[in-house]
A and B are shown apart, each in its own frame.
With several copies, the nearest count.
Chain A
Amino acid sequence: MRISIKFFASLREQLKMEDMDISVESVTTVHDLWQHVVKKEIPDNIMVAINQEYASMQSLVQDGDEIAFFPPVTGG
């Protein structure tokens, strides 16, 4: 399946990873996807959204999804 992945703010800089579109087969959850792509443990405070809606690390990933990882938000 095709997945689009985005990283924001300090997380993008720390990982030195650009947004990417990838093909994956064995991935089922957001957590799997992170492991597959980043190849490190996921920090506790990282937030995730699937198709611009908040999700959890256990949420299932589906073909065509946009998955965004980001650090705690600091707006306002």
Chain B
Amino acid sequence: MLVKVTAQAIEPWNILAHYEQQHIQSEHTGAAAVFVGVMRKHNEGDEVKSMYLEHYPAMTEKFLQKLAQKTMQQWDINDVLIVHRVGQLFPDDPIVVVAIWSAHRAEAFTVCRELMEQLKTQAPFWKKEQLHNGEYRWIEKNTHGYIVNT
């Protein structure tokens, strides 16, 4: 299990390659499902210059640790990885990596998505965008986690 909140740039594929090499036992692992969230250059019709990701230092990593532990207990999976960026970000910077390893694909897919929804709705992070015109604004809500017919 790896849970990390960091102000340094994250490289999702490197993190996964290293973690897997050191910690994933091939014996019973047949599937990995991964989600990577990346900062976009456009949001709600505006060009975004940078983003500040605020968190609650005493609580955020602790919350994610408990979420990862609960997830391990609740589901038939082999391992969980959560790495989340904080601080100053620029377009194209990865924000979060979540990975689930399990014996079969059904668990990996279901749990990776479920964990992301819990992270998005409960983990104490807040995004503030700086627009290209110099204005700042707080992101007020998340996009939908599931596809909505419009």
A and B touch in the complex (CB under 8 A): yes
List residues of A whose CB falls within 8 A of some B CB: 6, 8-10, 13, 49, 52, 54, 66, 68, 70-76
Q: How many positions in chain B have a CB within 8 Å of any CB in the partner chain?
A: 29
What is the total of A-B residue contacts with beta carbons within 8 Å? 75
B128 at the interface (CB under 8 A from A): yes
Are A74 and B142 in contact (CB-based, < 8 A)?
A: yes
Are A52 and B63 in contact (CB-based, < 8 A)?
A: yes
Question: What B residues does A75 contact at CB under 8 A?
Answer: 53, 55, 84, 95-96, 119-120, 123-127
CA distance A11 to B38 in the complex (A): 25
List residues of B whose CB falls within 8 A of some A CB: 37, 53-56, 58-59, 62-63, 84, 95-96, 105, 116, 119-128, 138-142
CB-based nearest A residue for B121: A73
A-B contact pairs, 6 of them (CB 8 A): A10-B126, A10-B128, A10-B138, A70-B126, A73-B125, A75-B84
Question: What B residues does A72 contact at CB under 8 A?
Answer: 140-142
Question: What B residues does A76 contact at CB under 8 A?
Answer: 37, 84, 95-96, 105, 116, 119-120, 123, 125, 142
Task: Report the minimum CB–CB distance from B64 to chain A (whole Å).
Answer: 10
Question: What B residues does A70 contact at CB under 8 A?
Answer: 56, 124, 126
CA distance A74 to B141 in the complex (A): 6
Known A8-B126, A10-B126, A76-B96; contact A52-B37, beta-carbon cutoff 8 A = no
CA distance A54 to B66 in the complex (A): 12
Known A9-B138, A10-B138, A52-B63; contact A74-B58, beta-carbon cutoff 8 A = no
Are B56 and A6 in contact (CB-based, < 8 A)?
A: yes
Are A74 and B139 in contact (CB-based, < 8 A)?
A: yes
Question: What B residues does A54 contact at CB under 8 A?
Answer: 122
Task: Report the minimum CB–CB distance from B78 to chain A (whole Å).
Answer: 18
Are B126 and A71 in contact (CB-based, < 8 A)?
A: yes
CB-based nearest A residue for B55: A75
Question: What B residues does A13 contact at CB under 8 A?
Answer: 138
Are B56 and A8 in contact (CB-based, < 8 A)?
A: yes
